[in-house]
Each structure stands twice: as structure tokens, then as C-alpha cells.
């Protein structure tokens, strides 16, 4: 490849990066449920079965539990590394993200159990080194992260119902 071709390629790559603003780095991507997935939040199962199955799903996906209270039906996970991106070729720094889940399992009527999943998305970067909540500004990403966990739980509980 000629020197001019290499320079042209680099210039075009830099321009495309500047126009787009951010360049993803690393292999980590946010999990996603299939498009048009509708989470099921109520199950015809006992609290005990739902509690055990939620923990099985977390373990299977290597999601560490940070805190739990079985009496209140609450589970909070450790933070999970999210996507990272470099702003303008990294000249302005790297923005990293992380998320965690807060899960509530509650006894309902007729031996039904409800499961509520809430994801909390945070970011940090060179310009703002402290982690800050960005969930409200990224509702689509947060919904996708939540729906992915709902899908995993639903697969597990649907299997146990049969």
C-alpha cells in the first residue's frame, strides 16, 4: 500500500470518528433481549421457587449478588462492566459504563409471585471520574438491560412450570 493511500485512509478514519463523536472500545456490550420482547412479571409459582430460580439465573450468568434480604424479597447485584467508548479518538478521554440490578420478588394472590427488575446505569470518564447515574438519560439501554434479565428469568421459570 502506498504512503498516500495510508495517509488517505487515516484521514478518512479520523474524520469519520470526529463526525460520529465516539468510538466503541473493548469487547463488552450491553445484553439485550430479542426485539419486541415483553417481560412477564407474574408467575404461577411459589416465592421459594422464584427466589431460587432468580439466584440460579444470576449464578449461570456470573452476576454476583451484593446484598439480599429474603424476608423482603430483595436482591441487589454487584456492578457489571458495561460498554466503554473513546470520545474523538480518545483525545477527550474514555467513558466507561457499569450497571447493576435491583430485583424484588413478592408473594401475590393465588400462590403467584411477581418479579420486578430495575437496572441502574452509571458512567465515569476522564472528565468526570466519579460514577454518576445516567439511567434517566438512557432509558432505551436500561430497558434493554432489564428485559434481558427478565428473559433469562422467564426462560428458567417457564421451564420449571412444565
Indicate the pLDDT class of residue 50, thresholds 50, 70 and 90.
Answer: very high
Return the pLDDT at 11.
46
| Helical H segments across the chain, by residue range | 3-20, 47-60, 139-161
- What is the average pLDDT score of the chain? 82
Place of cell 450491553: 30
More confident residue, 69 or 8: 69
For residue 119, give the nearest of 59, 79, 69 by alpha carbon.
79
For residue 31, give the nearest of 88, 77, 86, 70 by alpha carbon.
77
Return the pLDDT at 25.
45
Mean pLDDT value across residues 68-82? 96
In this structure, which CATH number among 3.40.47.10, 3.40.1360.10, 3.30.530.50, 2.40.70.10 belongs to the domain 22-161?
Answer: 3.30.530.50
Return the pLDDT at 157.
85
Return the pLDDT at 138.
92
Domain layout of the chain by residue ranges = 22-161
> How is residue 139 written as a grid cell?
432509558
Indicate the pLDDT class of residue 13, thresholds 50, 70 and 90.
Answer: very low
Return the pLDDT at 128.
73
Return the pLDDT at 8.
59
- pLDDT of 42 > 90? The answer is yes
The rounded distance, in Å, linking the Cα atoms of 86 and 137 is 19
Mean pLDDT value across residues 8-25? 47
pTM equals 0.76
Amino acid at each position: 500500500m502506498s504512503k498516500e493511500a495510508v495517509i488517505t485512509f487515516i484521514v478518512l478514519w479520523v474524520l469519520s470518528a470526529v463526525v460520529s463523536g465516539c468510538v466503541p472500545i473493548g469487547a463488552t456490550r450491553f445484553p439485550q433481549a430479542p426485539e419486541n420482547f415483553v417481560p412477564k412479571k407474574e408467575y404461577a409459582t411459589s416465592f421459594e421457587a422464584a427466589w431460587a430460580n432468580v439466584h440460579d439465573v444470576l449464578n449461570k450468568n456470573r452476576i454476583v449478588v451484593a446484598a439480599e434480604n429474603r424476608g423482603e424479597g430483595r436482591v441487589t447485584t454487584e456492578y457489571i462492566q458495561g460498554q466503554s467508548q473513546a470520545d474523538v479518538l480518545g483525545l477527550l478521554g474514555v467513558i466507561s459504563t457499569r450497571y447493576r440490578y435491583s430485583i424484588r420478588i413478592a408473594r401475590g394472590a393465588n400462590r403467584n409471585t411477581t418479579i420486578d427488575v430495575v437496572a441502574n446505569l452509571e458512567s465515569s470518564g476522564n472528565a468526570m471520574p466519579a460514577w454518576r447515574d445516567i439511567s434517566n438519560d438512557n432509558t432505551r439501554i436500561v430497558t434493554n438491560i432489564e428485559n434481558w434479565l427478565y428473559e433469562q428469568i422467564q426462560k428458567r421459570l417457564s421451564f420449571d412450570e412444565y
